[in-house]
Structure formats: C-alpha cells, structure tokens
Structure 1
Amino acid sequence: MFKKIPAARRILIYVILSYLALVLVNNSGLEYGNMWLIYTPMFVAIYIFSRWLDSRFGPMNEASAARSEDVKPLLKPGSKD
C-alpha cells in the first residue's frame, strides 16, 4: 500500500517521528516559558529527516524505479549490436 501511495508513507513516517519526539521532549523535564523555542526546530529537523528517510524507502519518481532488465547497456562507439 505504501509503495502505491508515497504521500501516505511520508505522512506516516512524519507522524511517528513527531509523536516520539513530543513524548521525549515533554517527558524530559524541560520547562521553558515558551516551548515553541524547542518545538519549532525539532519539527523542522523531523521533517527534513523524514523526507530523507522516505527517500531511502522508495524512489521519488518512476524513472529511478526502472528495473535492471529494462535498462539497456551502453555500447562502445564503433561496436556492432
């Protein structure tokens, strides 16, 4: 399912990582007057990491998903096919 719907895979990765980070920060004992000073860079970092992680799970476009038998090897100049 997640290979067919890459947006769902990205959302799932982001939600899981965000939830884990929120639990970690909220249980760490940090008590600032404005917790958004911690949350904002945390969520930006999670977004960047989740996009990188998603790129490791599946190709971003169909051109990079070509199977090896679909790709023809390059021939040397002057060689006959």
Structure 2
Amino acid sequence: MKPAVGAIRRASIYAVVSYGGLVLINNSGLQLPSMWIAYLPMFIGVYVFTQWVDRKF
C-alpha cells in the first residue's frame, strides 16, 4: 500500500505545480513560434521540483 500512496502523492504534486506553470506561461503574453519552447523547460523544472519536494516528505 505504501508505494501506491507515494505515487499518488507525487502525481498530485506534479499536477498542481504543472497546472500552475501552464497558467503562468499562458497568461504571460509570450508570442513564440512554438509554445513548446516555453513548455519543455517548464515541465522539466516541474519534474525536478516534484522529485525534490517528494523527497522532503
């Protein structure tokens, strides 16, 4: 049961932080030819941040 709780916690943290990142980028007014230029580094940063936060719990 413990691994399932950890996976759900990690997924929840990722969902909340990535949603916040998407809101920030989409409301920033960036006019890029491809939004993946902004999304890819954001999602990598969110993944690293999620792993760090998960280790703190």
Q: Would you say same fold, with TM above 0.5?
A: yes
- CA-based RMSD of the aligned residues comes to 1.7
In terms of fraction of residues, the more helix-rich structure is 2
- TM-score, length of structure 2 as denominator length: 0.90
Displacement of 1:35: 0.6
Displacement of 1:4: 6.3
Task: Look up the match of 2:52.
Answer: 52
Aligned length: 56
Task: Look up the match of 1:67.
Answer: none
| Secondary structure of residue in 2 paired with 1:5 | helix
Q: Which runs of 4+ in 1 moved over 2 A?
A: none
CA offset digits 1:32-63 (Å, max 9, x no partner): 01010110011001000000001101xxxxxx
Q: Please, which runs of 5 or more residues in structure 1 have no aligned partner?
A: 58-81
- TM-score, length of structure 1 as denominator length: 0.65
Identity of aligned residues (%): 46
Larger C-alpha radius of gyration, 1 or 2? 1
Highest RCO, 1 vs 2 (Cα 8 Å, sep ≥ 6): 2
